Amino acid sequence: MSDSVYLSAPALVSAMGSGLQNHINALLHPGGDSPLTFSDQWVKGKRYAFGAVGETLRPFPKSLPEAFRSRNNQLLWHALAQIEPQIEYAVSRFGAERIGVVIGTSTSGVDENIGMFEHIAQGGDWQSVSFKQAQQLMYAPAEFVAEMYGLKNLNYVVSTACTSGARALISAARLLRAGLCDAVVCGGVDTLSPLTINGFASLEVLSSGLATPFSANRNGINIGEGAAVFVMTREAVFEDSLPLLGYGSSSDAYHMSSPRPDGLGAIKAFQTALKHASIDAHDIGWINLHGTGTLHNDSMESIAVAEVFGADTPCTSTKPYTGHTLGAAGAVEAAFLWGMVSRHVNPEGKLPPQSWDSVRDQALPEIGLTDENSCWPQQRRVGASSSFAFGGSNAVLIIGESV
């Protein structure tokens, strides 16, 4: 399409470490040990695997107001260090008044009040504890980014559960296309939280081991944390920019927490993204699947992918490497797609192998899950990343090389 927008190389932090190149290398050449770790600290009496960020996070400036001090913002701050030169260049080129911020999250800084919640749950009184309202406000991550870099245009958060990160990129693209901004700092961040973890535990969708998406033996998800951030522009102002060729979203509102079984909403999102990018399904050389490892998601997604792309398009769920990073997942996996498309980051054109037990679920339509020998099937690299969320929220991003 003629009105493509462009994505800088992304900042990226997850259980796999920091930096795009490190992540791509690990995805293409997985070792024997999973980046995920088992812990019994989150769900009483249970031990599950989590994608926890283990490295020490970049400290906040001493002058930062208390209202911005949350672990969620600190994880975002840690990632932002990787693209500060791009942000600073955008400010010098366009001016702070022309740069917006759109961040996806599902947790924000709610964990800063866990102590208060526990105190009240144990019969304590409200007057004896402080309520850190500012830290848990949903818009806090976007306002934090604007504050740290002096950005004066719109800043807001998108919170649509597990499509938040993807929809933040879509929203940023719309700001650019509407002429409201010349650049947008956009992405997603979520941190491990006992509130969300125990919520998923109550739904009985946490895997008893390491998740195996699309396997006949799959029994749930592993939850992770992470952050991924881009600078999006209308022009290719950065040497290594790649175009966001298209995007599609839909809301089927089938159920509060279960995907529509026939995949109709997901199919609509894929088809809308392809139409927006002015390409056909056969032009897609790789799909980064949502692939959570639950019975219902993987069934629905297999139906959708088979309907739109058939059985031959290479596709991978990368969540076994990071855990499901929830509100950050759409941005984290868009960063993976960006890295796989980039000839600088991925010069050999390999694709990441599916991490699973290789036991296909015969009840699912066949899709082209990758193995150790998979690579980009076409000269032009164009791929898609799919995200699906509670409430029937569906989003697809298409990133690829220009014609």
- Alpha helices (H) along 247-362: 264-277, 295-309, 319-322, 329-341
Count of other CB atoms within 10 angstroms of residue 346: 22
Please report where in the chains the tokens 């008044």 appear, as a residue: 97
Does residue 357 contact residue 260 with C-beta atoms inside 8 Å? no
Question: Could you tell me the sign of the dihedral formed by the alpha carbons of 400, 170, 385, 333, in that order?
Answer: positive
Cα separation, 48 vs 46, whole angstroms: 7
Cα separation, 297 vs 340, whole angstroms: 24
Q: Where are the beta strands (DSSP E) in 45-179?
A: 48-51, 99-104, 155-158
For the question of residue 290 being annotated catalytic, the response is yes
Q: Mutual orientation of helices 71-80 and 140-149 as an angle, nearest 10°?
A: 40
Task: Please identify which of the residues 181, 186, 290, 315 carries the catalytic annotation.
Answer: 290
Give the rounded distance of the alpha carbon of 332 from its chain centre.
Answer: 4
Cα separation, 222 vs 207, whole angstroms: 6
Does residue 237 contact residue 99 with C-beta atoms inside 8 Å? no
Compute the half-sphere exposure of residue 62: CA atoms within 13 Å on the CB side of its CA: 0
Task: Please identify which of the residues 162, 181, 186, 315 carries the catalytic annotation.
Answer: 162
Task: Please identify which of the residues 23, 78, 276, 324 carries the catalytic annotation.
Answer: 324
3-state helix, strand, coil in the chain (%, to 5): 35, 20, 40
Any long-range contacts for 130-135 (C-beta under 8 Å, 24+ apart)? 134/66, 134/67, 134/68, 135/66, 135/67, 135/68, 135/69, 135/70, 135/108, 135/109
CA nearest 168: which of 154, 146, 186, 181?
186
**Catalytic sites, residue numbers:** 162, 290, 324
